Structure formats: C-alpha cells, structure tokens
Structure 1
Amino acid sequence: MTEQTGQDGRRPANDGPKAAVRNRAALVAAAREIFAEHGLEAPLSAIARRAGVGQGVLYRHFPDRTAAVAAVLEENVGQIERAAGTAGMSFADVLGVLTWHLTESSAFIGLLHTDRPAGRADIRAHAVGLSGRVERALRRRLPDGHRLSGAQDLTLAVAMVSAAVTGPTREERERRALAAWRLLGVELGPVRAFGG
C-alpha cells in the first residue's frame, strides 16, 4: 500500500472528526444540487464528485439513496422549524424561508406531495413525518384569522405553490413561486435561507 503525501513530501494531517463534519456538510450541499438538477434518481457517484470526496466517504455518511434524501429533507425542515421558533419572525418571513427551500430543492417539493402514489415508498414514508413538521412549524406563526387558517387551507396553499415551482433555473422557479403566492393573495417575506 502506498502512502499519500502532499507537495512538500509530508503526509497530510488527519483532521479526524472535523473532516467528517466538513465532508457531511459538503455531501448534503452536493446532494441538494444534484437532486435539484437531475431528480431523486440521480447517481450517488455524482454527489460524491460534486462534494469532492470519494464514494467510500459518501457511503460512510449515507449508506443508501434514502439516507441521502433524508439528510437533505431534514436540513430543509430543520431550517423552517428554526425560523418559526425565532422571535421576531413573522408568518410571511417563515413562508419566505419555505419558498427558498422550494426553489432550491426538488427533493423538498416531493416531500410536500407525499400523498402521490408514485415514487419510492421508503422515501415517501419518511417524508410523511417531515411534511407534518413543516405544517406544524408554519402554523406556529400563522396569525388568527389569516386567509390560510382554515383546516386544510395552509396545506393546500403550500401544495399549490410547490406544484408551480418549475423551471430550469433557480430564478425561474422563484419567479413562479412568487407569482403563485401573489395569486393566492398571501404576503411573503424575503426568499432566503434561514440565517442567510
């Protein structure tokens, strides 16, 4: 077995846990991009290449496709939950965060349509729980008497907007999402990642 060395002839330092955290973050970001560009059936090897890691590193973090999709979805949902739990965030602000995730992640759009019969059952089963978390987070900030406060109105509005989020570029998807919210008569805060 040969030992890898840097340009100066020394072995690179082993960053241990720091490298694992960095690699996982790079893999989740790459998975988000690859799934957005090529759908949930994109080759996992493309995710590893985009993240700049080997396939062994990918499989150490995500042993299968379901785990990679779940990691992207969990990050989406976690951001929406954190936004909804932050003082000073209005319902419109949280909808802006939700909309950012819709325009960035085709996997997230699929989450919001978990009742569709097509698709992978393993991913769909996990997505049902995450979809409920998104609705609960949004309802935490939904003002009394808001036009979406009816029993199914919020769920239906989010599904309608997510169905409109199509297009080859992020800008086109955002333009369509904004138009859909406007047609529903719903005020929207800045479209951005939470904390961004």
Structure 2
Amino acid sequence: MTQHPTAEERRPANDGPKAAARNRAALIAAAREIYAEHGLGAPLSGIARRAGVGQGVLYRHFPDRAAVANAVLEENVREVEQAAAASGATLSGVLGVLTWHLTESAAFIGLLHADRTGGRADGVHAHASALSERVARSLRGHLTGGHRLGGSDDLMLAVAMVSGAVTGPTREERERRALAAWRLLGVKVGAVRPFAG
C-alpha cells in the first residue's frame, strides 16, 4: 500500500525567482553579520548556515568568496552614496552613515584600507579600491570650501585614522571610540545610523 504525504508533510511549492531573491538577500545579510564578526576571511559554510541555506545555494548566487564579499561591500558603499545623494544631505550626516558602517563591519574597514594593502590581487581587493574611491567621491561632494579636511588626501586619511580607532567587543564601544576619534580630529558627525532612505 502506497502512503501519500499529508498536507503538513509535503514540501512547500517552489517559489522560483521569489525564493532566489529571498535566498540572495538572506545570504548577503548573513555574510554582513559573519564579516562583522570575523572579517573577510570567514568561512563560506558559516555564511550559508547562518542564512539557512545549503552551500549549493550560496554557490549558485556567488561563485566564489570574492563575489560574496563584493556583494556585501557593494551594499555598504551604496548606502553611503544614497546618504550623500539624499535631499538636504550634509557632510556630518553622511559621516554618521559611514561611521555606522565602520562600527558594524570589519570588512568595510578593510575596504577603506584596500588601496593601501599593497599587492593583493584577489577579486575582493581588486574591486575594493574602486569601491573605496566611490566612498571618497560621496564624501568629497559635501566638503565646503576651506573645510579642515579639504586637502587632497586629508578626507580619506581622516577616515582611515577613525577606522583604526574602531575597536572593542561591542558595537556601542566601537561607536564610542569612532566618535571620540572624529572629535579629536575636530570633525562634526551626525547621528550614527544606517541610511533610512
């Protein structure tokens, strides 16, 4: 006698593209968390586990480690760019968004230092320099004449200095240290939060 599964035992219907988009978003969110905790060298298996998908699903969306990292870092940079392009945006407001990303992600800090790493040729670092330049352009667009960070490299040097201060076991401690570093540089920073569209 053949037993047919009950409604509760049947597998859910394949959602096709909806599931794919949902899985990709879950993988990026999981990667952001894992990278915040462990940096860009974190194992991909941990990302798949945290997202609640198999490694095959991860590799369907991201063929290698560089693709995962680039997707996460691209999102960080896009939020900074959106904050910079928002109506009424100010340098202090954009720095608040940037500082939030610094306190949330060791990987994002690594991105901002990518152009100084000297010689790493993997896909993550090759792309990171271009992303770092996009952050710099977004910030430079809000510098007023005579601003203390208006020198040719002063702005990104200040960002690098602040990112070096972003240490500590909790996000709150990292934020406290980042804000102290900005204050020591004499730079006003707005609310430290993600860009809220």
**TM-score under structure 2 length normalisation:** 0.92
- 1:64 match: 64
CA shift, 1:7, in A, is 6.1
Check 1:167–1:11 CA distance in 2 against 1; reply closer, same or farther (3 A cut). same
Output the CA distance in 2 between the equivalents of 1:99 and 1:81. Answer: 13
Structure 2: how far apart are the matches of 1:89 and 1:82? 9
Rg larger in structure:
2
User: How many residues get paired?
Assistant: 192
For the residue of structure 1 that corresponds to 2:196, the secondary structure is: coil
Q: Please name the residue that 1:48 is paired with.
A: 48
Please give the alpha-carbon distance, in whole angstroms, between the structure 1 residues aligned to 2:43 and 2:8: 35
CA distance in 2, matches of 1:77, 1:179: 23
| 1:118 positional shift | 7.1
Structure 1 residues 143 and 7: CA distance shift in structure 2, 3 A: farther
What amino acid maps onto 1:80 in structure 2?
V
Structure 2 residue aligned with 1:78: 78
Distance in 2 (CA, whole Å) between partners of 1:173 and 1:6 is 51
The aligned residue for residue 187 of structure 1 is: 188
1:99–1:6 CA distance, 2 compared to 1 (3 A):
farther
Corresponding residue number in structure 2 for 1:19 = 19
1:98-129 deviation digits (Å, cap 9, x = unpaired) = 00111111111001111123756332111010
Q: Which range moved further: 117-126 or 91-100?
A: 117-126
- Corresponding residue SS for 1:10: coil
* Structure 1 residues 118 and 166: CA distance shift in structure 2, 3 A: farther
Name the counterpart of 2:176: 175
Q: 1:78 and 1:173 mapped to 2: Cα distance?
A: 22
The correspondence of residues 145-156 of structure 1 with structure 2, limited to 5 A, is 145-156=146-157
Q: 1:149 and 1:59, CA in 2 relative to 1: closer, same or farther beyond 3 A?
A: same
> What per-residue deviation string (whole Å, max 9, x for no partner) do you get for residues 67-122 of structure 1?
11101110000001111111111110000000011111111100111112375633
Contact between 1:6 and 1:12, CA under 8 Å: does it hold in 2? no
Structure 1: segments with no counterpart, 5+ residues: none
C-alpha RMSD of matched pairs (Å): 1.7
> Map of 1:12-161 to 2, 5 A cutoff?
12-114=12-114, 115-117=116-118, 121-161=122-162
Runs of 5+ consecutive residues of structure 2 not aligned to the other structure: none
Deviation at 1:151, TM superposition (A): 1.0
**Tell me, what secondary structure is at the counterpart of 1:23?**
helix
State, as a whole percentage, how many aligned pairs show the same letter.
70
- The answer (yes or no) to whether the contact 2:103–2:174 under 8 Å persists in 1 is yes
Cα distance between partner residues in 1 of 2:7 and 2:89: 49
TM superposition shift of 1:16: 1.4
Q: TM-score, normalised by structure 1?
A: 0.92
CA distance in 2, matches of 1:125, 1:36: 20
